[in-house]
Amino acid sequence: MKQRIFWFLVSIMTFLLIYAWGARYDFSLGGPLVLRQLNLLFAVLGFFFFFLQFILSSRARLVEKGFGLNKMILKHRHVGRIALGFLILHPVFFFLFQGDVVIRGTSMIIGLIVLLGLMVTAALASLHKKLNLPYELWLNIHKANYVLFPLVLVHVFDRATPGTPLYYFWGVFTAVFFLLIVLIFRKEVDIRRNPYQVVEVKQEANDIWSLFLHGRPLDYQPGQFMYLRLLRKGMISSSHPFTISSSPTWNRLAVTIKNSGDFTATVKDTKPGDKAYVDAPYGVFSFLRCECKNIMFIAGGIGITPFISMIRYMYEEKISIPVTLLWANKSEEELCFRDELAKMEKEMDNLKVVYVMSRQEDWKMEKGRINRNIIEKYKTDKGGYDYFICGPPPMSKAVMAALKDMGVPKDKIHHELFEF
């Protein structure tokens, strides 16, 4: 679903909910009464935006296709803040203007427990880096929201008046939420029933390893990514996102992984014959999604993976769009795919590979960091470039600023982040 359509539907639904709330009251009664009823409006909007959270974080293919998962998760964060804001205002206005500060009834206590739970999960999501919490730990705590939502339903149905339009809306949201749970469960069963098998483990550089997987065919675009879990010695790992570094024309999947933490440090211990659970494909970072005349790929370190997939695909499919790859690393020891890139560059008239080293004095090609000078140096004057960037956040930021300086339109800059 296109982003615009999604947000249009959300706006319509928000309007209908406000209308359904407003239809209950006679606003001619004046100020204090309206203020009193605002608590319900905040509850209605807070509930709706909380519900949207599950759609935005569900990896639902229908929505993901239009957004890309990175953007969906970014929106999930923004919408989450709005939901929490409304849900906090709900009891504040209730207690301030209801003239009744006594907490009565199980459903009210449940409502307050849910609010507290949401505040904790939201705080952990915002502060996990500062608190140095392991990624999986805060993510699993965050998933408690799937338990908090049914509790919200208990609160909502206890307070709502049967037969009103709002009551029917709650019914629809409840049905969609449980349908989503069923779909997530079904997908999990399907993934578990159709594991891939690791057929090769290859060291590409000092701390970079490729895993080659064989299993059911996957329909993906070069540049997309998968969620991967490995089943080794009877233990299932946590799920991590990795770009699919193979070309869709291959009969096996590949991922190329740099050691950067707990899980990635263990990739080298994977053995042929181990199983892999693959949830894919995700993402919208592919040259196939735009009508590109000239392409510049700008990679930093392991950010090469979507580009190697796209270049492999172009090579095999004999796609003749002119492509320049600028690839930044500290030194040549970090390079992988070097021979393969050299071979493809030699055989493809349309590919130019430029290595940029930031910490290697004796390097003969470009030295330093990728900046406006380097980008302009390797651009031909044919114009009409699409820029694809994938690398560490500081590099991506600097390159985006340089492109903005050069007056490149926003829709010509495509960007993939390796963190959510």
Q: Catalog residues that contact ligand FAD under the rule CB under 6 A.
A: 135, 225, 239-243, 256-258, 260-264, 302, 305, 418-420
Other Cβ atoms less than 10 A from the Cβ of 91: the count is 18
Kindly tell me which of 34 and 205 has the beta carbon lying closer to ligand FAD: 205
Q: Shortest Cβ contact with ligand FAD: which residue? A: 261
Q: How far is it, in rounded angstroms, from Cα 255 to Cα 226? A: 9
Q: Smallest distance, Å, CB 54 to ligand FAD?
A: 18
Q: Smallest distance, Å, CB 298 to ligand FAD?
A: 16
Kindly tell me which of 129 and 192 has the beta carbon lying closer to ligand FAD: 129
Q: Smallest distance, Å, CB 240 to ligand FAD?
A: 4
**Lookup result for tokens 């203007």:** 97
In contact, 286 and 256? CB cutoff 8 Å: no
Of 293, 352, 309, 292, the closest CA to residue 327 belongs to 352
Kindly tell me which of 260 and 331 has the beta carbon lying closer to ligand FAD: 260
Cα atoms in the 13 Å half-sphere on the side-chain side of 31: 0
The alpha-helical segments, DSSP class H, found in 237-358 are 305-317, 338-347
Q: In this structure, which amino acid lies at residue 282?
A: Y
Q: Smallest distance, Å, CB 268 to ligand FAD?
A: 12
Kindly tell me which of 37 and 309 has the beta carbon lying closer to ligand FAD: 309
Spell out the long-range contacts of 119-123 with Cβ–Cβ below 8 A and sequence spacing 24 or more: 119/84, 119/88, 121/145, 121/148, 122/80, 122/81, 122/84
Q: How far is it, in rounded angstroms, from Cα 184 to Cα 186? A: 5
CA distances from 398 to 186, 208, 347, 382, 389 (A): 42, 25, 32, 24, 11
Kindly tell me which of 95 and 135 has the beta carbon lying closer to ligand FAD: 135
SS3 64: helix
Kindly tell me which of 256 and 270 has the beta carbon lying closer to ligand FAD: 256
Q: Smallest distance, Å, CB 80 to ligand FAD?
A: 17
Q: In this structure, which amino acid lies at residue 203?
A: Q
Integer distance in angstroms from the first to the last C-alpha of the chain?
Answer: 21
Q: Smallest distance, Å, CB 13 to ligand FAD?
A: 29
Q: Smallest distance, Å, CB 312 to ligand FAD?
A: 14
Kindly tell me which of 48 and 285 has the beta carbon lying closer to ligand FAD: 285
Kindly tell me which of 39 and 243 has the beta carbon lying closer to ligand FAD: 243
Q: Smallest distance, Å, CB 243 to ligand FAD?
A: 4
